[in-house]
Chain A
Amino acid sequence: EPEVTQTPSHQVTQMGQEVILRCVPISNHLYFYWYRQILGQKVEFLVSFYNNEISEKSEIFDDQFSVERPDGSNFTLKIRSTKLEDSAMYFCASSFARGSGGGELFFGEGSRLTVL
């Protein structure tokens, strides 16, 4: 069964460092998403991406964050200067169709980011 894969599974970084989290969505999917989940808290939407541009973003997704689909297969989330509060599990998701009728999202296993 096709799946969304994420790397690394765990990254430890120093505050102020740049981090790139990578995702390989399911191959025929068109819509891509990043979510995060701080330990013990809710899953929070960060950003959605379609046709090589951001289609929606939350208040969390400020100027420190960026997303890119550099080569048609990978989908990356970059955090420019990490803060302690960026420590969380980051989930990538993809979807073939938009909207609720066909909008089932497939999530990856997540990348755990620890900022020291």
Chain B
Amino acid sequence: DAKTTQPNSMESNEEEPVHLPCNHSTISGTDYIHWYRQLPSQGPEYVIHGLTSNVNNRMASLAIAEDRKSSTLILHRATLRDAAVYYCILRDAGGGADGLTFGKGTHLIIQP
């Protein structure tokens, strides 16, 4: 899996939007961009994924740059429950390795 780069930590206030960046300059044409998060003392949890177009679901939005070398996970209105480590992961759709490769992720701190 190609590498991603994320800030180690970010801080935001409750009820405000949060933009979590991810750089993936070596992304290949068949790589999907996945986001997972891990709340304290829990297993990872799927958030969203996309290939080229921006994506929205009930949890978040994913904005993908036109050249696909970066993406941003957007939490529209952060709550205390959104405090977690967020992982940006590239996953090959072309029959590559099955296992997700987790990096260190971004530790998101939400202030009340």
Contacts and interface: CB of A to CB of B under 8 A. Distances in A.
Interface of A: 4, 31, 33, 35, 42-48, 50, 55-56, 58, 91, 93, 98-101, 103-110
A107 B43 contact: yes
Nearest to B51: A100
Contacts of A33: 98-99
B95 A100 contact: no
A37 B100 CA distance: 13
Interface string B26-44: 0000011010101000111
Interface of B: 31-32, 34, 36, 38, 42-46, 49, 51, 87, 91-93, 95, 97-104
A46 B97 CA distance: 12
Cβ-closest 9 pairs across A and B: A100-B32, A45-B99, A107-B43, A48-B98, A43-B102, A100-B93, A56-B98, A100-B91, A104-B46
A107 B87 CA distance: 14
Query: Main SS of chain A's interface residues?
Result: strand
A99 B93 contact: yes
B31 A100 contact: yes
Given A106-B46, A107-B45, A108-B43, A58 B103 contact: no
A99 B102 CA distance: 16
A91 B43 CA distance: 7
A50 to B, nearest CB: 8
A103 B36 CA distance: 12
Contact of A42 (B49, B51, B91, B102): B102
